[in-house]
Amino acid sequence: MESPRPTPNRVVLTLVCIVLAVLLLADFASVQANRIVPGQGLGLFKALGSVWATSLIACLLAIAALAWRPNPLCYRVMLALVVLLLCQLPLSLAWFIHLHIADDQPYARAGIAAGGWTLLFIGSLLLIECRQRMQPAPFWWRAAPLGLVLISAWLIYSGDLAALSLLREYSSRRSEFWQALAGHLSLVGGALLGSLIIGLLLAWLTLRVPRLQRPIFGLLNFFQTIPSLALFGLLIAPLSYLANKYPVLQGLGIHGIGWAPAIIALVAYSLLPVVRNTSVALSGVAPAVIESAHGMGMSSWQVLRQVRVPLALPVIIEGIRITTIQAIGLVAVAALIGASGFGSFIFQGLGQGAMDLVLLGALPTIFLALLADALFSALARHCQPGVRA
């Protein structure tokens, strides 16, 4: 009997069709004489020239051809092509700047248009699809994100990407950027610390007194139903009143706006994932394991510390992961009430109609969320009982 033909990978084919359509029909990049004047968008071939544009198109067509009748070898070659495609993106931007921005144009800037962003986004999805199809995935699949970062860093250091509008915005706000990063991380860290202290105590309380579980979860679910901006606004009046009534609070920097209402709101939003995951994980330990621990002479505290918590740790870390990612996003919204963080760039850019300034705040926020997701996911896998053993 003949072996059945492999089924075409419709996901890869669809993604390639989308990115090809956007590259051929939309602008790849744009160029501006300065920050004020509108940019002029250029299509793929006008932006990069025929040779570079053809190489990108050929790489995408080769990926589509391999996806038509995929096999393990095809996926390895496809993965290598996706790595090559993503690593070409910063190089193509540097080539675009070289072609369209002269050295005697100190205020000119280049922007990434729909085609460039789509190529980056679809390329990342293609990388994920190839990795999922290859189990176990080869260690070199990380070459795409690593190569993208290293090539971009080299081009930035060499000055080849200095005219990129995003880097122009960073250069003019360098000190503000690092202050915003420190403020963003401090708010996330404060919210995470507060939610862990309160959340773990509440989870332990629901474990010891089960009848309190329903009212506690009801209250935490109520906090989740309040829109974040509304909760920030609701805290302004009481905190302003307390700050005026007790001058010591003003000395601590507690006012109706700023970090204080942001921390309180972030902790309120962060409690539910921590309490829910911790409570479910601790109560989900098999009764036979608990009975065996008690039979060995362990006290209730020893059972909690040496049996329940180690077995429940991966699920607890998952709740912390959700809390951290949620807090990273909400800190950006807290800029509306005067809290520090990358949200200040986002709302300044929206007010000025400067999308590159918006990206200066949005991209680091996304990066922090992805970094937190990767770190806590790796920590949860490491804490699995079988892995630790």
SS3 384: coil
If asked whether residues 104 and 192 sit together in one domain, one would say no
If asked whether residues 191 and 301 sit together in one domain, one would say yes
**Residues 43, 23: Cα–Cα separation, whole Å:** 7
DSSP state, 112? E
Half-sphere exposure of 111 (CA within 13 A, CB side): 24
If asked whether residues 74 and 223 sit together in one domain, one would say no
Cβ atoms of 194 and 262 closer than 8 Å? no
**Residues 187, 328: Cα–Cα separation, whole Å:** 9
If asked whether residues 144 and 111 sit together in one domain, one would say yes
* Average pLDDT for 7-15: 88
If asked whether residues 148 and 206 sit together in one domain, one would say no
If asked whether residues 197 and 240 sit together in one domain, one would say yes
If asked whether residues 259 and 282 sit together in one domain, one would say yes
pLDDT tier for residue 1 given thresholds of 50, 70 and 90: very low
**Strand duo 109-112 + 29-32: pairing:** antiparallel
pLDDT score of 197 more than 60: yes
If asked whether residues 268 and 296 sit together in one domain, one would say yes
**Residues 332, 364: Cα–Cα separation, whole Å:** 11
Q: Could you say which of 111, 134, 165 is where a domain stops? A: 165
Q: What percent of the chain has pLDDT over 90?
A: 18
Q: Looking at the domain assignment, is residue 58 inside a domain?
A: yes
Token pair belonging to 110: 């280049």
Adjacency order of strands within the sheet including 29-32: 40-42, 29-32, 109-112
Q: Could you say which of 165, 194, 226 is where a domain stops? A: 165
Cis before 210? omega within 30: no
**Residues 183, 189: Cα–Cα separation, whole Å:** 10
> Tens of pLDDT along 345-363?
998 888 887 788 888 899 9
If asked whether residues 146 and 179 sit together in one domain, one would say no
If asked whether residues 239 and 384 sit together in one domain, one would say yes
* Average pLDDT for 317-331: 90
**Residues 254, 51: Cα–Cα separation, whole Å:** 60
What's the CATH number where 263 sits?
A: 1.10.3720.10
* Average pLDDT for 137-142: 66
**Residues 328, 55: Cα–Cα separation, whole Å:** 38
State the CB neighbour count (10 A cutoff) for residue 42.
Answer: 20
Cβ atoms of 113 and 41 closer than 8 Å? yes
Angle between helices 165-172 and 174-208 (to 10 degrees): 90
Q: Looking at the domain assignment, is residue 2 inside a domain?
A: no
Place of tokens 């679910």: 221
Q: What percent of the chain has pLDDT over 70?
A: 94
Q: Could you say which of 99, 132, 165 is where a domain stops? A: 165
> Tens of pLDDT along 71-123?
888 888 888 898 888 888 899 999 999 888 887 777 888 888 899 999 999 99
The secondary structure of 6-69 as a DSSP string is PPP-HHHHHHHHHHHHHHHHS-SEEEESSSSSPPEEE-HHHHH-HHHHHHHHHHHHHHHHHHHS
SS3 340: coil
Q: Looking at the domain assignment, is residue 1 inside a domain?
A: no
> Tens of pLDDT along 37-62?
777 889 999 999 888 899 999 999 99
pLDDT score of 69 more than 70: yes
Q: How many domains does the chain have?
A: 2
Token pair belonging to 126: 């293609």
Cβ atoms of 108 and 163 closer than 8 Å? yes
Q: What is the pLDDT of residue 141?
A: 65
**Residues 135, 387: Cα–Cα separation, whole Å:** 18
User: Which range marks the domain in which residue 235 is found?
Assistant: 174-388
If asked whether residues 349 and 221 sit together in one domain, one would say yes
